[in-house]
Amino acid sequence: MASRPVSPGFWRGRFFLHTRLGAGGMGEVWLAREGRGRGCGATVVIKQLLPHLARDARYVELLRREAAFTATLHHPNIVRVLGLEEVDGTLLLVMEHVPCCTLQQLAEAARLAGEALPPALGAFVLSCVCEALEYAYARSAHGEGGRVMIHGDISPSNLLVAPEGGVKVLDFGLSRPEGECAPLAATRPFAAPELLASGPVDRRADVYALGAVLLALLEHPSRAPELWALGQWASTSRPHLRPASAADFQGELETFLAREPFGPRQLGRLWRRLASPRTEPETGASTTGVLERGAGGSAHVEAEPANQPVKPGPVDARGARRR
């Protein structure tokens, strides 16, 4: 299956791709308008495979599997998939448009503003992510295959934060059934060692990623020692020593939030202060001021053996760690 690079103002069938939102190890994501003619049609988000991967049957199958699985998910904390279409030999994954920024971008905006995100924000966001993951696990276990599908790529660039304080999980492109080996790609330093080593994985690989994201947001143990200890527990290199599930991890987060309340109202207030929304007149697309400069794809790498996990440092604008 072929694909060709695109630039702003390019038509893909009935979709007008006008703003490139980012790219990762598998694909690129575009803000698009459905239907021809200025001002008509709904705004959607389009994901398509990178040109060199669109000729690889393995990645084509991953995109098809992502579309089939995520189309069955209807949860307030998961980005809704509207369908999969093929246009001139190119597969397009069509998703709902959520005016938002990524957690990655929010962290970068805070850094540029000279402030640190409150520890309770990380606890609240990741608690919402745990809700989404547990729903997806249950949904897949009761689906046609009867096997739990893990996400496999939880990272700050795959977690969306909306201005009203909502949280959504994005990109199930690397999801796989529990027990499956040989991942095609992974996102460092949030990928569990067993995933990078191409070993069999279960939902504790997602728990590892949750812990790694928490550590990246905290940056230093002194900011919230209890949460730091939780992040280290979850991101240990030995899966059997981690919390057994996202639900167990969430329980610890909720204990912290009971003492330091944080919810959609506080998150929305922080978003509006840091994001500085504005409108691009030429496209009508909602963008996010300083956050726009932090946009970028996930730092995906091909899977390779790893004996020890890389402990994450503070999040920077490119999805890498600041040393």
Residue with tokens 């850094």: 111
Most confident of 32-36, 124-128, 153-157: 124-128
- In angstroms, the CA 83 to CA 77 distance is 18
- In angstroms, the CA 256 to CA 120 distance is 8
pTM, to two decimals: 0.81
Q: Quickly state the pLDDT bin for 36 (edges 50, 70, 90).
A: low
Active site residue ranges: 153
Domain 101-301 has CATH 1.10.510.10: yes
Most confident of 18-32, 188-202, 233-247, 283-297: 233-247
- In angstroms, the CA 287 to CA 99 distance is 8
All CATH 1.10.510.10 domain ranges in the chain, comma separated: 101-301
- The residue-averaged pLDDT of 21-34 equals 82
The average confidence (pLDDT) of the chain is 80
All CATH 3.30.200.20 domain ranges in the chain, comma separated: 10-96
pLDDT in the model for residue 276: 57
- According to DSSP, the residues that pair with 159 across neighbouring strands are 169
pLDDT in the model for residue 240: 95
- According to DSSP, the residues that pair with 310 across neighbouring strands are none
**Is residue 109 predicted with pLDDT exceeding 90?**
yes
**CA angle at 278 for the pair 275 and 284, rounded to the nearest 5°:** 135
Most confident of 11-20, 96-105, 295-304: 96-105
- Is the distance from CB of 86 to CB of 92 less than 8 angstroms? yes
**Is residue 285 predicted with pLDDT exceeding 50?**
no
In sequence order, which residues have a C-beta less than 8 Å from that of residue 195 and are 6 or more positions away? 152, 183, 186, 201, 205, 303
**Is residue 322 predicted with pLDDT exceeding 80?**
no
- According to DSSP, the residues that pair with 167 across neighbouring strands are 161
The better pLDDT of the pair 71, 145 is held by 71
- The residue-averaged pLDDT of 249-254 equals 98
**Which range has the worst mean pLDDT, 53-57, 186-190, 256-260?**
186-190
pLDDT in the model for residue 266: 96
Class of domain 10-96: alpha beta
